[in-house]
Amino acid sequence: MVGDAATGDDALAWSDIRYVVGRANRVVLDGTSGVARASRLLGILGPSGSGKTTLLNVLAGRLKTDGTATNTATTTTMRKRRARRGVATGRVAYAGDASGRGGRGATPLSYVEQDPKFFSNLTVRETLTLDAALQGGDAADVDAIIRRLGLVACADSYVGGDTGGKAVRGISGGERRRLAIAAETLCLRNARRRRDADAGAGAGGGHEARTSSASSSSPQRGGVILADEPTTGLDAHQADKIVQKLRETAVEEAAAVVCVLHQPRSAIFDTLDDLLLLASGGRVAYCGPAKDALRHFEEIGHACPRYHNPAEFLIDLVAVDADGGVEAERADVERVDAIAEAWKATAAAKRHATAAAALLRASDKATATATATGIEPGARGTREKDAGARRRPPGAFGQFKLLVGRAFKQCRREAWVNGVRLVASAALALAFGGCNYDVGLGGKSVKRRAAVMMQACINTSMLAVCRSLNGFPRERATVSREMSRVSGGYKPGPYFFSKLLVETPIDMIFPVVFGGVMGPMVGLRAGGKKMFLTTLALQTASASCLGLSVGALAPSAEMALAIGPCIMVLSIMLGDESGAFAEVPESLRGVSNFSLIKWAFRGCLCSEFEGLVFDPLDKRGEEKKKKNANGAAGGIAKRAARNAMEGVCPRTGEEVLEGLGLPTSGGAARAAKAQARPIHCFPYDRVGVVNADP
Ligand SMILES: Nc1ncnc2c1ncn2[C@@H]1O[C@H](COP(=O)(O)OP(=O)(O)OP(=O)(O)O)[C@@H](O)[C@H]1O
């Protein structure tokens, strides 16, 4: 029978997948069933909007299924309710995974993204070597995979792109896709290796129990690779090459490779082992060997005209054209209905409809046998063969070390960016210093010193927040792909701390340069310089933490860039606890502890005024002040500070601090401690305290 090939090597089966969306309950997938087999390349084809990507997401476990069997009574209301929660109904079963909910379970599974993102300033080889190290894999695999995927010529070129580093020209689009396949194959290989080396865990052993003889004789093979539109945007030659490589990978790894394809040309269609044709409305029109597809459609009255591209013919055949008028649309719907019904009547379709349940039963049975005999499934022959592959993926500290290495490499290769930042910091300091040149020690200098401190705090934190808000969301897609990998996926902690350890000290240099140049120009107290610069440096670290947290918690880069500045403005509004510039209402005093500016400003004021002795006869800066005064002096101070602002010269800085309600000794050190707190307790997993009360 057409489409009913050998059944002993099903690696993945799904049955009766149904998914509806929106208030109108639009059906995206309508009872879709099928199988993917080990060592074969299955192409999913269909008109635009037929649900190809949605189905791939279901197979990947990105869109969960509820695990209901084909004939389980599920009411329409239940289905709708689940759809509203973003859950599809039906079953997805991987060989070796008994859950039926489409999760990856113990089955090695890799997903090749449509637009794969990598760290732009690592080379192809470095990218794969780091992946292998994170997965506890064999470095020799990297060279083999580079050769297999035809990446030898570009192995030492930067990956390029604008994510995860500076925007650089790198490898071509085709090479990038092949790199993605290489990375995911490596991941699959290491996941399998670990599963097989983990004789005790053995949940994936069902795979060997059921898959081909090649797979059982070599524990290093098997698994599933899913690829979403890997040829989109490539020229015909590159697209051919990608599909060819996917097929080679399926054979070499004995893996089931499933890919969504858009309008493939004949050569690509010929490369496919199996074909799943989805009709408009998410129904299956065909699922079986690609070479038998045209015969099946000929048998039901739809012969492919000579010299037509079979892929285009089939896609057109199952498409409903809503723009061609009512009659044409009705004819299309009737044709597609007939094709879907004809497929349902085939023996292959009936087998597919129950294949997922069979796969789950087989997994259950393998697990039960293993429990009864004490021999773990998949353990057969693996201990001896895989003795050298027992290396475990590194733990959190090992991951941290590897990620620090990458962060360091990135920073080294972006040295020119830091050079520009250094020059910009010095230039900004000159501008600040020029505007507030030599404020002197007279009464008027109190206000000007306070203003300089506030401006320095705002400038420092804004620069640090903007940098991490701009940088991190660009890395995020790459990082979340790496984190979610079935093998070598790391936790957020090692990643964030590696960034903080490498990037923050570099970031701290710029405020120190800024303060170091600006301070003497303004005439800030020399004795307070060390604490002033420390405060600015800590301020940068706190602001970077805030930027990274917002970047991690916001769902998109755009939202992060919208939220970050709002938090900064609030921080500025609530940052002046002393009331030197703006009164913070009593009811908001508690909230002001979360202000990024508050502790930095307090630290700067304390470091500047503690130990400062004023000179009432010093009139430096006053003439200029009169010109600029504009009558604004009235609102900026209170108590003794107000007197000082109005020209009544205090004797010491402590008097000013007392007037502002700040500690007269040790205040800067305590503020620094408060600033450092969010760096110790980096809140990467929640939006929370940014600056805590000391
Ligand atoms: N969560 C969702 N909410 C609303 N509509 C959705 C959702 N998921 C999928 N759809 C709709 O379901 C249909 C199928 O989407 P899908 O991306 O799977 O199609 P496709 O066959 O891959 O299309 P294309 O070939 O154009 O990429 C589309 O019309 C899409 O808009």
CB atoms within 10 A of CB 628: 8
Average pLDDT of the segment spanning 351-356: 79
- pLDDT confidence band for 466 (50 / 70 / 90): confident
pLDDT confidence of residue 342: 93
Burial of 517 (0-12, 13-18, 19+ CB in 10 A): middle
161: Cβ contacts below 8 Å, ≥ 6 apart: 117, 118, 120, 167, 168, 170, 176
**Which of 52, 57, 277, 312 should be mutated for ligand 1, with most atoms under 8 A from CB?**
52
**Which of 53, 63, 261, 315 should be mutated for ligand 1, with most atoms under 8 A from CB?**
53
Q: Which of 77-81, 170-174, 290-294 has the lowest mean pLDDT?
A: 77-81
Q: Give SS3 for 86.
A: coil
| Mean residue pLDDT across the chain | 78
402: Cβ contacts below 8 Å, ≥ 6 apart: 130, 133, 134, 394
Question: Under a CB-based contact definition with an 8 Å cutoff, are residues 147 and 155 in contact?
Answer: no
545, 397, 406, 399: which is closest to 119 by C-alpha? 406
Distance from C-alpha of 626 to C-alpha of 636, rounded to nearest angstrom: 16
Å from CA of 35 to ligand 1 middle: 21
C-alpha atoms less than 13 angstroms from C-alpha of 38 in its C-beta half-sphere: 25
Q: Where along the chain do its domains lie?
A: 38-389, 396-680
State the first-to-last Cα distance of the chain, in angstroms, to the nearest integer: 77
Higher pLDDT, 41 or 110: 41
Instruction: Pick the residue whose CA is nearest to atom 25 on ligand 1.
Output: 48
557-573 vs 596-609: helix axis angle to the nearest 10? 40
Of all residues in the chain, what percent carry a pLDDT higher than 90?
A: 25
Q: With 70 as the cut, is the pLDDT of residue 116 above it?
A: yes
**Which of 23, 28, 320 should be mutated for ligand 1, with most atoms under 8 A from CB?**
28
Q: 477: which 2 tokens?
A: 């897609």
- pLDDT confidence band for 71 (50 / 70 / 90): very low
Question: Under a CB-based contact definition with an 8 Å cutoff, are residues 531 and 669 in contact?
Answer: yes
> What is this structure's pTM?
0.76
Distance from C-alpha of 407 to C-alpha of 421, rounded to nearest angstrom: 18
Q: Which of 293-297, 459-463, 590-594 has the highest mean pLDDT?
A: 293-297
Average pLDDT of the segment spanning 101-130: 80
Q: Which amino acid is at 604?
A: C
Å from CA of 398 to ligand 1 middle: 40
Higher pLDDT, 680 or 515: 515
Helix (H) or strand (E) holding 400: helix 396-413
Å from CA of 11 to ligand 1 middle: 26
CA-CA-CA-CA dihedral for 342, 344, 347, 353, to nearest 10: 170
Residues 117-132: b if buried by 16+ CB within 10 A, e if exposed:
bbbbbbbbbbbbbbbb
Question: Under a CB-based contact definition with an 8 Å cutoff, are residues 182 and 145 in contact?
Answer: yes
Residue listed under structure tokens 């209901």: 68
Q: With 70 as the cut, is the pLDDT of residue 369 above it?
A: no
CA-CA-CA-CA dihedral for 549, 555, 559, 564, to nearest 10: -10
Instruction: Pick the residue whose CA is nearest to atom 5 on ligand 1.
Output: 21
Locate the ligand 1 atom nearest the alpha carbon of residue 22 and give its number.
4
C-alpha atoms less than 13 angstroms from C-alpha of 45 in its C-beta half-sphere: 29
Locate the ligand 1 atom nearest the alpha carbon of residue 54 and give its number.
18
Helix/strand/coil percent split, the chain, to 5: 55, 10, 35
pLDDT confidence of residue 565: 84
Average pLDDT of the segment spanning 243-263: 92
Q: 106: which 2 tokens?
A: 């113990």
Homologous superfamily in CATH for domain 38-389: P-loop containing nucleotide triphosphate hydrolases (3.40.50.300)
Higher pLDDT, 452 or 672: 452
Q: Which of 357-371, 534-548, 626-640 has the lowest mean pLDDT?
A: 626-640
Instruction: Pick the residue whose CA is nearest to atom 18 on ligand 1.
Output: 51
Higher pLDDT, 458 or 659: 458
Locate the ligand 1 atom nearest the alpha carbon of residue 28 and give its number.
12
Å from CA of 193 to ligand 1 middle: 35
As for ligand 1, residues whose beta carbon falls within 6 Å of it are 21-22, 28, 46, 48-54
Q: Which of 70-79, 498-507, 652-661 has the lowest mean pLDDT?
A: 70-79
Q: With 90 as the cut, is the pLDDT of residue 622 above it?
A: no
Å from CA of 58 to ligand 1 middle: 12
Locate the ligand 1 atom nearest the alpha carbon of residue 278 and give its number.
21
CB atoms within 10 A of CB 327: 8
374: Cβ contacts below 8 Å, ≥ 6 apart: none
Distance from C-alpha of 53 to C-alpha of 56, rounded to nearest angstrom: 5
Instruction: Pick the residue whose CA is nearest to atom 27 on ligand 1.
Output: 48
